[in-house]
Amino acid sequence: MPVRTVATSPFADQKPGTSGLRKKVTVFQQPRYIENFIQAILETASEGLRGATLVLGGDGRYLNREAIQTAIRLAAANGTGRLLIGQGGLLSTPAASALIRSSGAIGGIILSASHNPGGPDGDFGIKYNMANGGPAPEEVTSAIHRRASTLTEYRTTDTPDLDLDRIGETRIEGMVAMVVDPVANYAALMETLVDADRIAGLFRRGFRMRFDALSAVTGPYAQEILERRLGAPAGTVINAVPLPDFGGNHPDPNPVHAEALMAEMMGADAPDFGAASDGDGDRNMIVAPGHFVTPSDSLAILAAQAHLAPGYARGLAGVARSMPTSRAVDRVAKRLGIPCFETPTGWKFFGNLLDSGRITLCGEESAGTGSDHVREKDGLWAVLLWLDILAATGKRADAILLEHWAEYGRDYYTRHDYEEVDATAANALMASLRERLPTLPGQKVGGLTIAEADDFAYADPVDGSVTAAQGVRILFAEDARAVFRLSGTGTVGATLRVYLERFEPDPSRHAMPVQEVLAPVIAAAQEIAGIARHTGRDAPSVVT
């Protein structure tokens, strides 16, 4: 089959956001849309593409298989040497990152819209990861966007569809397409980081766990690792079969969208430990019996206890968190005497810190936690690290949480999302906040006093690049904080995210209802930003 050059015209909207190009499925179904973007990726990566290895896989959502076949043809026609494809077209985001690193690939194409809903009316996405296994940094995503906006042709072949379900090698043009087990390489990596025998011992002694895969990509990974390798009873993993529409649900592991797991963990006969992951397997939700563990607290607890696991026995070089993540991990870093970096939202900003050895662990308030073992956040890894800590200490998960608060204080935390608001109104709200920044300090709002207000800018300590306008931060004198930013992963209108927190050092005040403790901060945030006035909403659509 000869390589064909096909005329195309550019699409103006192929601009990657926080995590790749994410749009409605119907947008990706436009003729040449997927081809155009993948050609732009391949040309941007082209320095070194010829003869090199690429990794390809997705979260199994609607359009995954078709897009995989398209990507295979374009990769072959553009001179890729070897293409590693997850069996069934599946690769969780962290497994793709691990495979890129272990195979010496120059990068990988991951098909995912992560926690966004799937199905014909849902979302789809494509992102590019670099040779370090991490999301392409800003300068590369901008280059892909520029290329996609000027492209006039793409290269493909007319080869028949590859059998994605059969492990093996097929030659397509000059390229070797290898369908590989999506789980084996990842599971082996996990066993180098945690003490598998120690965790297996927990399960042998009757430890009960529930892992909700939310009908997304982690089902096969969790079944293999938890049930087969670690000996958790069958049925520990629920909703384990990846479905193209995730059973009609949001594959987003938070108390709202993983409500069945939450109900079980808050019930009288709760298992010892509950966890869930998202569409593409990079997020994690941790639930102790009777307590949701906020991702910000989970990051802090893992930072404090990671040395118990073999992969981190040498201690941590440093930690990092995204700016809207609570300051709980900062307190641990201070105690450990290690640096703590504050980055913009999105995993790509951790890449340089991890590559340069400045940090070992990092995380985001949005249920993302990870370490230097890959360059993506890693849902199952966080779950395994928690399990190893439980096994090493012999403590219950809820005890670990309460003891952590008693030792470091509690950062009460909530995020309020205003979804699908009018984009113009959302931009006006942010613009107005930014304009008023200099006048805010000193103002009293409700019972709180604004101490500082700024628009977060990040200067990368490794490459010196500066990323501005990453979110408005309001710091109150009462050790509370409100952060405002617009989502970069939504596909309809704009989503305003308001992150709210307040520090409470007194252990006698650690068992209060979160929304009640934060009520004054919430009210102040709504007033300062004029949320109702700008958006017409008097309440958020999702509270987590």
Beta bridge partners of 50: 80
Residue 541 contacts which entry, ligand VG1, Co ion, none (Cβ below 5-8 A, type-dependent): none
129 vs 185, beta carbon nearer ligand VG1:
129
At 475, list the tokens: 């710091």
Shortest Å, Cβ 152 to ligand VG1: 31
Residue keyed to tokens 């006039």: 152
Shortest Å, Cβ 18 to ligand VG1: 3
Would you tell me which residues interact with ligand VG1 (CB under 6 A)?
18-19, 114-115, 278, 282-283, 322, 345-347, 364, 366, 368, 487-489, 497
CA-derived radius of gyration, the chain: 23
Picking from 229, 236, 240, the residue whose alpha carbon sits closest to that of residue 209 is 236
Taking residue 207's Cβ as centre, other Cβ atoms within 10 Å add up to 18
Shortest Å, Cβ 134 to ligand VG1: 12
Shortest Å, Cβ 129 to ligand VG1: 11
Taking residue 71's Cβ as centre, other Cβ atoms within 10 Å add up to 27
Query: Which residues, 70 to 129, sit near Co ion by CB under 5 A?
Result: 114
Query: Which residues, 259 to 278, sit near Co ion by CB under 5 A?
Result: 278
CB 534 within 8 A of CB 426: yes
108 vs 520, beta carbon nearer Co ion:
108
Residue 296 contacts which entry, Co ion, ligand VG1, none (Cβ below 5-8 A, type-dependent): none
Shortest Å, Cβ 283 to ligand VG1: 5
46 vs 541, beta carbon nearer ligand VG1:
541
CA distance 478 to 59: 43
Residue 368 contacts which entry, Co ion, ligand VG1, none (Cβ below 5-8 A, type-dependent): ligand VG1
CA distance 431 to 433: 5
Residue 346 contacts which entry, Co ion, ligand VG1, none (Cβ below 5-8 A, type-dependent): ligand VG1
Alpha-carbon separation of residue 437 from 326, 434, 472, 475, 531 (angstroms): 21, 5, 9, 12, 16
Residue 358 contacts which entry, Co ion, ligand VG1, none (Cβ below 5-8 A, type-dependent): none
Alpha-carbon separation of residue 426 from 16, 19, 309, 433, 487 (angstroms): 20, 20, 44, 11, 10
CA distance 127 to 135: 7
Shortest Å, Cβ 278 to ligand VG1: 5
Shortest Å, Cβ 234 to ligand VG1: 28
Among 280, 365, 417, 460, binds Co ion (CB under 5 A): 280
114 vs 491, beta carbon nearer Co ion:
114
283 vs 373, beta carbon nearer Co ion:
283
61 vs 410, beta carbon nearer Co ion:
61
Shortest Å, Cβ 234 to Co ion: 27
62 vs 203, beta carbon nearer Co ion:
62
- Dihedral over alpha carbons 71, 218, 125, 483 (to 10 degrees): -150
Binding status of residue 282 toward Co ion by CB under 5 A: yes
Binding status of residue 345 toward Co ion by CB under 5 A: no
**Around 397, how many Cα atoms within 13 Å sit in the side-chain half-sphere?**
29
Shortest Å, Cβ 89 to ligand VG1: 18
283 vs 373, beta carbon nearer ligand VG1:
283
CA distance 246 to 242: 7
CA distance 185 to 336: 33
Picking from 30, 97, 16, the residue whose alpha carbon sits closest to that of residue 57 is 97
Residue 364 contacts which entry, Co ion, ligand VG1, none (Cβ below 5-8 A, type-dependent): ligand VG1
CA distance 24 to 13: 12
Residue 92 contacts which entry, Co ion, ligand VG1, none (Cβ below 5-8 A, type-dependent): none
Binding footprint of Co ion, residue count (CB under 5 A) = 5
Q: Say if strands 237-238 and 209-212 run parallel, antiparallel, or are unpaired.
A: parallel
Residue 369 contacts which entry, ligand VG1, Co ion, none (Cβ below 5-8 A, type-dependent): none
CB 35 within 8 A of CB 156: yes
279 vs 289, beta carbon nearer ligand VG1:
279
Q: How far is CA 225 from the centre of its chain?
A: 20
377 vs 534, beta carbon nearer Co ion:
377
Does residue 89 sit in helix, strand or coil? strand
DSSP 81: S
- Closest residue to Co ion, judged by C-beta, is 114
CA distance 528 to 25: 37
Query: Which residues, 485 to 544, sit near Co ion by CB under 5 A?
Result: none
CB 72 within 8 A of CB 158: no
Shortest Å, Cβ 13 to Co ion: 22
CB 193 within 8 A of CB 311: yes
DSSP 367: T
CA distance 361 to 321: 9
Residue 18 contacts which entry, ligand VG1, Co ion, none (Cβ below 5-8 A, type-dependent): ligand VG1
| Catalytic positions | 114
Residue 277 contacts which entry, Co ion, ligand VG1, none (Cβ below 5-8 A, type-dependent): none
CB 312 within 8 A of CB 192: no
∠ CA 193-198-203, rounded to 5°: 120
- Closest residue to ligand VG1, judged by C-beta, is 114
What are the residues binding Co ion (CB under 5 A)?
114, 278, 280, 282-283
